[in-house]
Amino acid sequence: MKLSARNVLKGKVKTVTTGVVNDEVVIEVAGGAQVVAIITKTSAENLGLAPGKDVYAVIKASNVIVAID
């Protein structure tokens, strides 16, 4: 697998919360940190996502927003 994204985090699916159109996927990465992604239900099904499955969180972002109270 070759990607242009530089941020690739290996982890395991912790939970998949199924919605009508989209699913929420929680991925636990090294150190116990969690990455949450919203993907289409069809994509989650095609990837066979389920708790315990090894996956990669691929992050490609052109913007980071920082806020304070």
What is the C-alpha to C-alpha distance for residues 66 and 57, in angstroms, rounded to an integer?
21
The pLDDT assigned to 65 comes to 78
Angle at 32 between CA 36 and CA 18, to 5 degrees: 30
* Domain 7-59 fold: OB fold (Dihydrolipoamide Acetyltransferase, E2P) (2.40.50)
Sequential DSSP letters for 13-37: EEEEEE-SSEEEEEEEEGGG-EEEE
Read off the pTM: 0.85
The pLDDT assigned to 37 comes to 93
pLDDT tens column, 11-62: 999 999 999 999 999 999 999 999 999 999 999 999 999 999 999 999 887 7
The pLDDT assigned to 9 comes to 92
